[in-house]
Structure 1
Amino acid sequence: MALGGCMSGAFYRRFKPHLLMVLAQIGYTFLYFITEASFDRGMNPHVYITYRHIVAGVVILPFAYFLERKTRPKLTLALFAEIFVLSLLGVSLTLNMYFTSLRYTSPTFIASMVNTIASMTFIIAVVLRQVSPDFCRLEVLNVRSNHGMAKVIGTIVSLAGVMTMTLYKGPLVKNLWGALIHIQGNNTIHENWLKGSILTVVSCITWSIWYIMQAYTLRKYPAQLSLTTWMSFIGGAQSAVFTTIVQHKPKAWMVGSSIDFWSIIYGGVVCSGLIIFIQLWCTEQKGPVFVTMFNPLSTILVACLAYFILGERLYMGSILGGVIVIVGLYLVLWGKEGDQKHETESQAQPNLMNEDQKEAKIQVISTAEKEMV
């Protein structure tokens, strides 16, 4: 019994970041359906972003204040400016561009582009590591090692899986039963592929930079709850200013139905609060590339739930692409585990050498003392 408990505890400690990121993607999956229902009933996306992050800040503030009261670093003006930029990249600018692009392109195109964030983050992290020593801990890449090649190949394979899900339909998978839930919308898409594509691409780039900047900021401000609170309040304020500029109707700020209310609560408490905190913790433990590599899982889960619950069409291309994404994800995670183990062993070797030297010095001193006696 004791041995089994030790083994299960060691397994949990080793794979805790993996389990947390899977739970985070499950949370994002449910967000997709509840926000889609809310937007279809007339909820303004920009107002939703504002309310969602204000709710997140209010909910997390007490936990951040009391739990991190002794460990929270002093907030300087330079650090506040950095958090301001971090909020702009991860909350107000990115999310508002993302939801605006939904009006001009197809959801399939946006889903494929969002899933390229992992590849973008990996590339940017490797480039920044070469440019500045301040980013040396972002991502280790040694193409001469098996683990380094696994990360490169896994990133390419995962990207290929995303493209397969998007560009290749294949035969239609027959649904044996009808939709369990019906969502009727009144939204119309006014296609403008140039404008929508630019907005989507820029939002993915800023999202990738946001993940990388998180790792950099956490070194100076290692208080995940407090950082989440600051980003929620600052991002909500930034979004409110943007929404006021683009939306002049006071009626848009009204929460019209229960689904609007619950989408704001769920998005604020679970996604902008709990999940962002989980991502910050995993970023500090494993790095930004590790966090972004789990993003395609939400697309796979959304496709499955949409097929089984909403009765939407599912093609063999989506199934094939999902399998390829999982293979690529496994390769990257295997490569990162190997690199992290190698780095830990490399850091442990100097410590062992220092300990051996100390022991040798002690033995020499003891021998000298005996000779004097």
Structure 2
Amino acid sequence: MRGRYCYKDVLPFTALVTMECINVGLNTLFKAATLKGMSYHVFVVYAYAIAALVLLPAPFISQRSRVLPPLNFSIMSKIGLLGLIGSSSQIMGYTGINFSSPALASAISNLVPAFTFIFAIIFRMEKVVLRSTSSKAKILGTIISISGAFVVTLYKGTPIVIAHRSSVSLYPPLNSLKSNWVIGGLLLTAEYILVPLWYIVQAQIMKEYPNELTVIFFYNLSVSIIAAIVGLSTEKNSSAWRLRPDIALVSVVCSGLFGSCLNNTVHAWALRIKGPLFVSMFKPLSIAIAVAMGVMFLGDTLYLGSLVGATIISIGFYTVMWGKAKEEIGEDHGVSSPESPPTTQKVPLLQSYKAQEV
């Protein structure tokens, strides 16, 4: 029982928090690489190609398993769709940031749990019964978490801990927006509509083919191919494709190993274990993690808005987690599932047996 609890609850939580911490560091490396003039089209191609190369043995190993179903056309086509969604969201996101700012991107990313919740209900991956305590907790927690993330992003307040040295902020202020702010906002909104769809399609694939390494290998391969086609049409200068031994090479290798490979594999596993809503709830939490890491390691100033927003995010996050746990252990006895027919009144076993004899 304890081992199942660790595998189903403690391990996914710990793994996803760790991945969000890693993602903050990878975003910082990416920003440093692009400041050196690296194209984000080239970055996506190389990062996903490295991840695909690392996971190359996975399909050959999985084919030896008698438990897994064969990789048929249906599964491969869904993985191809997943690659198209992933590459489109990446390209739209980076283009949107170029038109607007990373601050606007982080603000709009707070809507991912809401979009995921809506899509999960539409595709019947989440059950919502308004009389159910767990459903109310999930809805309320999602709203609270999103509100807290907007507080962190848009409200600064008075400084609590003053920066002791100059540093590059992880989330620049909104006054750095360019004139094409509307176009950037639309592209970023499209990106964060595609991200929940990525979660939904990925969760469906994991139900049919529960092998994370093989699925992520083909996903990384498809994203690299699609991004290469787009990149070759946009980056016609051959010098843009050369990787020099500097921060750009470090960023590409780290993003390929820890982002496209490890991060996507962990997310695929967590989607299979816990579902799309659980995974998406770590998106607002990543902003609080970025603030904390910025204060501890980069010497950023801690503002009142960041502290208040992080507290609100934590309350909303744990409200959703409590609702999910309550739903999984089946404490809502008085509410029947929308997918199952209403149960009739329970009849004692002996009485039922006698009725069958008569």
What is the TM-score of this pair, normalised by structure 2?
0.86
- 1:29-76 per-position Cα deviation (integer Å, ceiling 9, x unaligned): 211111111111111111101111111011012244325631443222
Cα displacement (A) at 1:94 = 0.5
Matches of 1:180 and 1:212, distance apart in 2: 38
For the pair 1:164 / 2:144, whether they are aligned, the reply is no
- Give the SS at the match of 2:98: coil
Gapped runs of 5+ residues in structure 2? Answer: 171-175, 338-342
**Counterpart for residue 292 of structure 2:** 304
Matches of 1:145 and 1:18, distance apart in 2: 24
- Give the SS at the match of 2:51: helix
Matches of 1:339 and 1:143, distance apart in 2: 13
Contact 1:84 1:231 in 2 (8 A): yes
Aligned residue pairs total: 336
Contact 1:181 1:309 in 2 (8 A): no
Against the structure 1 CA distance between its residues 286 and 174, is the aligned structure 2 distance closer, same or farther, given a 3 Å change threshold? Answer: closer
**Counterpart for residue 173 of structure 2:** none
- 1:238-282 per-position Cα deviation (integer Å, ceiling 9, x unaligned): 000011111111111111233211211111111111111111111
**Counterpart for residue 77 of structure 2:** 81
Matches of 2:177 and 2:157, distance apart in 1: 25
**Counterpart for residue 340 of structure 2:** none
**Counterpart for residue 368 of structure 1:** none
Against the structure 1 CA distance between its residues 176 and 106, is the aligned structure 2 distance closer, same or farther, given a 3 Å change threshold? Answer: closer
- Give the SS at the match of 1:143: coil
For the pair 1:152 / 2:146, whether they are aligned, the reply is no
Gapped runs of 5+ residues in structure 1? Answer: 1-5, 129-134, 365-373
Q: 2:6 aligns with which of 5, 8, 12?
A: 12
Matches of 1:75 and 1:343, distance apart in 2: 38
Matches of 1:264 and 1:330, distance apart in 2: 34
For the pair 1:99 / 2:87, whether they are aligned, the reply is no
Against the structure 1 CA distance between its residues 330 and 286, is the aligned structure 2 distance closer, same or farther, given a 3 Å change threshold? Answer: same
Give the structure with higher Rg (CA). 1
Cα displacement (A) at 1:177 = 1.8
Contact 1:179 1:308 in 2 (8 A): no
1:304 corresponds to which letter in structure 2? Answer: A
- 1:267-317 per-position Cα deviation (integer Å, ceiling 9, x unaligned): 111111111111111111111010010112221222222234333444211
Question: Percent of aligned positions with the same letter in both sequences?
Answer: 29
Contact 1:103 1:191 in 2 (8 A): no
1:148 corresponds to which letter in structure 2? Answer: S
**Which stretch of structure 1 is more off in the superposition, 196-205 or 278-287?**
278-287
Contact 2:169 2:300 in 1 (8 A): no
Contact 2:21 2:290 in 1 (8 A): no
- Give the SS at the match of 2:99: coil
User: What pairs with 1:166-315 in structure 2 (closer than 5 Å)?
Assistant: 166-175=153-162, 177-179=164-166, 190-315=178-303
Matches of 2:39 and 2:255, distance apart in 1: 14
Cα displacement (A) at 1:172 = 2.5
1:94 corresponds to which letter in structure 2? Answer: S
For the pair 1:139 / 2:139, whether they are aligned, the reply is no
Matches of 1:307 and 1:254, distance apart in 2: 35
1:32 corresponds to which letter in structure 2? Answer: N
2:324 corresponds to which letter in structure 1? Answer: K
Contact 1:173 1:314 in 2 (8 A): yes
Against the structure 1 CA distance between its residues 190 and 168, is the aligned structure 2 distance closer, same or farther, given a 3 Å change threshold? Answer: closer
1:89 corresponds to which letter in structure 2? Answer: I
Structure in which a larger fraction of residues adopt helix:
1
Matches of 1:312 and 1:45, distance apart in 2: 26
Against the structure 1 CA distance between its residues 148 and 181, is the aligned structure 2 distance closer, same or farther, given a 3 Å change threshold? Answer: closer
- Give the SS at the match of 1:102: helix
Matches of 1:340 and 1:182, distance apart in 2: 40
- How much is the aligned-residue C-alpha RMSD, in angstroms? 2.8
Against the structure 1 CA distance between its residues 260 and 72, is the aligned structure 2 distance closer, same or farther, given a 3 Å change threshold? Answer: farther
Contact 2:146 2:284 in 1 (8 A): no
Against the structure 1 CA distance between its residues 182 and 299, is the aligned structure 2 distance closer, same or farther, given a 3 Å change threshold? Answer: closer
For the pair 1:335 / 2:331, whether they are aligned, the reply is no
Q: 2:52 aligns with which of 57, 64, 74?
A: 57
2:6 corresponds to which letter in structure 1? Answer: Y
Against the structure 1 CA distance between its residues 40 and 261, is the aligned structure 2 distance closer, same or farther, given a 3 Å change threshold? Answer: same
Cα displacement (A) at 1:161 = 0.5
Matches of 1:17 and 1:309, distance apart in 2: 25
Matches of 1:107 and 1:239, distance apart in 2: 21
Contact 1:112 1:166 in 2 (8 A): yes
Matches of 2:270 and 2:89, distance apart in 1: 21
Cα displacement (A) at 1:180 = 7.2
Matches of 1:106 and 1:174, distance apart in 2: 25
